[in-house]
Structure 1
Amino acid sequence: MKSKVSWIIGGILAFLLFAIAYMPALQVIGRVTLPNNVSVSGVSGTLFSGKAQTLVVNGLSVNNLKWELSPLHMLLGKIKLDLKAGNIRDKNDIAFEGPVTTGLFSQDTINTENFTLYLPVDRVLAQVRLPLPVNAGGRFKVSLNELTFGPACESLDGTGDWLDATVAGTQGPIDFGTYSAKLRCEGKDIGIMVSEPNLLSLSMDAVIPTNMKNIRVSGKFKPDDSLPNEVHQAARLFGAPNSSGYIPIKL
């Protein structure tokens, strides 16, 4: 008797899983209330394997989003999505690739491993309020070996790079090279450590709370002699150099 009941329950679960697997993604998304800062268009495929032409989050558009949803993880009470979007070779595209895992019934915590993200610098800075206008170029690359987040930083192992950094100068774009940072959890906050060598001889440690308030930054920099004079003049706005020629940073 127990064996028959088990087969019946298994058959029902298999049928439901099969029905969900082939459910059109457009029908599902059309019934979901998205946040005001999120919109999606050009949805096709199924819930388990689909794509969207455009995803817009906080004014940043992502093209050619594709996903694969793992049915096995759903049976274990989890949602695992293998995501891919944008064109990694296109410097103007937001692009990312990797797995994201969260709970089926609660999405308070998000996990990922081996996730890579590319962001055009000018599009990111357009969303950030800065004390002075900055016209910068290049790409941010974030490589996450491991991340567990929600609602605060629980574990983080990764790197962040500003590739081909440029800033507009009076005579045209100024090439600042590439800057690399180590990412970590600092308590419940996110820690970012930048180390030399780089053209600014910049070393910096920043701690960023999840609410983006009371950001703490300490470090030092010394512009390379090869950089234009206007860079050296602008550097003096941060203070006077010490005996080693470095200008301290403290926020």
Structure 2
Amino acid sequence: MNLTKKIILGVLVYLTFMLVLLPADIAVKLAPLPTNMNISGVSGSIWSGKIESVSIGQRQIDQVQWQLSPWGLLLGKVTLDLVIGNPTSPVNGKGLVTLSMSGIDAEGLKFDAPSRFLLGETRLPFRTEIAGELSVFIGTLQQGLPWCEQLDGKLFLNAVRVKNQFGHYPLGDIELALACIDGNVEIRSNEEMNQLGFNGSVLLQAEKNVVISAKIKETASQPDDLKKALTFLGKKDSNGYYPIKYQGIIPL
């Protein structure tokens, strides 16, 4: 091996060790983070590290840990085995997330959070207040246009309670199925997945457009305020269902 090849090999080995041993806190300082994001308590390396706290606006996530797969880099991908908090933390999750030029993919993703974390400081119409817990399970997610190429998962809304100027609505537990339809995210439920007599879907399209196509009928388990409000949806059909139709920009 001539001197030139030895120098090139030595430089490559040196750069490889520098990358492997690069502290995570230096990598975070060099990263182009959003202006409203604050990160503290960074330790470990870019291959195996931990962050004590991540805050984005009014939202905060504690104890973020990751393992980075070196094999994914050979394919031009960043594959992270993520863990957020622990099972007793208000906000917790885990899963395999892959970042590439084509977007974000995820497998076996689980995320739990209270409604106040998701809503943040958002002001809802009619002075609406929402309480409850959310759990997301994603078997497979592949980003596409406008939203997805593939999506298979479940969304659980636990002990949901809604309060606004029209009444109180303890809605209980609601299960929703997540799917990808022609690049759009579909959220679907039926009477076997909720106690509200609700059947139908919500389709999230490009440009924040949403299409709701559903129906609901009165059931014994519905809160009284909800039963009274059903008549505002229009005329019920022969099977006792009231229509729920909407198409437009997400009303937030």
What is residue 180 of structure 1 aligned with on the other side?
175
Q: Is the 8 A contact 1:17 1:71 kept in 2?
A: no
Can you give the 5+ residue segments of structure 1 that lack an aligned partner in the other structure? none
Given the two structures, how large is their TM-score scaled by the length of structure 1?
0.84
Residue number among 88, 93, 96 corresponding to 2:93 in the alignment = 96
What is the alpha-carbon distance in structure 1 between the residues aligned to residue 14 and residue 55 of structure 2?
Answer: 34
Given the two structures, how large is their TM-score scaled by the length of structure 2?
0.83
Letter in 1 for 2:181: E
Taking the TM superposition and a 5 Å limit, the aligned residue runs for 1:37-116 are: 37-90=36-89, 93-103=90-100, 106=101, 108-116=102-110
What is the alpha-carbon distance in structure 1 between the residues aligned to residue 9 and residue 191 of structure 2?
Answer: 59
Letter in 1 for 2:133: R
Q: Is the 8 A contact 1:109 1:151 kept in 2?
A: no
Cα distance 1:68–1:10, how it changes in 2: closer, same or farther (>3 A)? farther
Taking the TM superposition and a 5 Å limit, the aligned residue runs for 1:193-232 are: 193-197=188-192, 198-212=194-208, 214-232=209-227
**Superposition RMSD in Å:** 2.7
What is the alpha-carbon distance in structure 2 between the residues aligned to residue 183 and residue 78 of structure 1?
Answer: 25
What is residue 190 of structure 1 aligned with on the other side?
185
Number of aligned positions between the proteins: 242
Q: Is the 8 A contact 1:86 1:96 kept in 2?
A: yes
Residue number among 125, 131, 141 corresponding to 1:137 in the alignment = 131
Q: Is the 8 A contact 1:37 1:59 kept in 2?
A: no
What is the alpha-carbon distance in structure 2 between the residues aligned to residue 25 and residue 113 of structure 1?
Answer: 24
Which one has the bigger strand percentage?
Answer: 2
Q: Is the 8 A contact 1:199 1:223 kept in 2?
A: no
What is the alpha-carbon distance in structure 2 between the residues aligned to residue 228 and residue 72 of structure 1?
Answer: 53
Q: Is the 8 A contact 1:190 1:210 kept in 2?
A: no
Can you give the 5+ residue segments of structure 2 that lack an aligned partner in the other structure? 247-252
What is the alpha-carbon distance in structure 1 between the residues aligned to residue 73 and residue 10 of structure 2?
Answer: 16
What is the alpha-carbon distance in structure 1 between the residues aligned to residue 88 and residue 163 of structure 2?
Answer: 23
Cα distance 1:226–1:190, how it changes in 2: closer, same or farther (>3 A)? closer
Give CA-to-partner distance per residue, 1:5-48, whole Å, 9 cap, x none. Answer: 6x987765454333212211111111222122432222111111
Letter in 1 for 2:99: T
What is residue 18 of structure 1 aligned with on the other side?
17
